[in-house]
Structures are given as C-alpha cells and as structure tokens.
Amino acid sequence: MNKVSGVAISEIDASEYLTTSEDIVAYLNAVIEEDDGDLFLAALGDVAKALGMAQISEVTGLGRESLYKTFSGKTKPRSETVNAVLKAVGASIQLTAKVGR
C-alpha cells in the first residue's frame, strides 16, 4: 500500500480483471490512447500475466523467464516479441487514418 498526501492507496493488479477477450482488447485500446509506449508494454504484461506466462510461453515459443524480463520495465522488447505476444493473447494492432490528415 502506498501513501500519497497522507492517504493510503492500494495497488491494483489489472491482470485480475482481464477475464475476457473483450476486456483485454478494451484495456489495450485504452492504454494505446495514452500514447505511452512503456505503459503499453506494462499493459501487455498485465494481459500476459492474466492468461498465464506459461501459456504465453508455450504459444509464442519464447522462454517464460524471457517474457518476465520483457515486461519488467527494464528492457525494450523487439517488435517481433510484442507481435508474438499480441497474437498469443488473441489481439493485433490495426492502424486507422486520422480524420483531417
């Protein structure tokens, strides 16, 4: 529990609330709106944790320890790794044109 301005604030583990494909996609889309690459990687780590790192490891062929390091916030994963994890969780990145461009 953290304290901010003398108020106790509990940390929330987002992975506990990501129970459906719709939840996962909505969560990742909301994070993308923040335009913060580190936050996106953390969110993708939450998703991988929610589904189980062992399962993600099996589907992607990436080592479990490697996945934990990928989402530790201390490394910058390659796009191939991010894409493999996205595919494993049943999501993909799709670009759309901005209006007025």
How many helices and strands in the chain, by DSSP H and E?
5, 2
Counted domains in the chain: 1
Task: Round to whole Å and give the CA distance between 81 and 101.
Answer: 31
Task: Round to whole Å and give the CA distance between 30 and 28.
Answer: 5
Strand partners, 2: 9
Residue 93 lies in a domain: no
DSSP code for 12? -
Residue 6 lies in a domain: yes
**For position 58, what pLDDT does the model report?**
96
Residue 38 lies in a domain: yes
**For position 95, what pLDDT does the model report?**
83
Strand partners, 55: none
> Which residues lie closer than 8 Å to 22 by C-beta, 6 or more apart?
none
Phi and psi for 4 in degrees, rounded to 5?
A: -125, 120
pLDDT by residue, tens only, the chain of 101 residues: 666 666 777 678 888 889 898 999 999 999 999 999 999 999 999 999 999 999 999 999 999 999 999 989 898 899 999 999 999 998 988 888 888 76
**For position 2, what pLDDT does the model report?**
62
Residue 69 lies in a domain: yes
Residue 99 lies in a domain: no
Residue 95 lies in a domain: no
3-state secondary structure of 11: coil
**For position 99, what pLDDT does the model report?**
82
Structural domain boundaries enclosing 84: 2-88
Radius of gyration, CA atoms only, the chain: 15
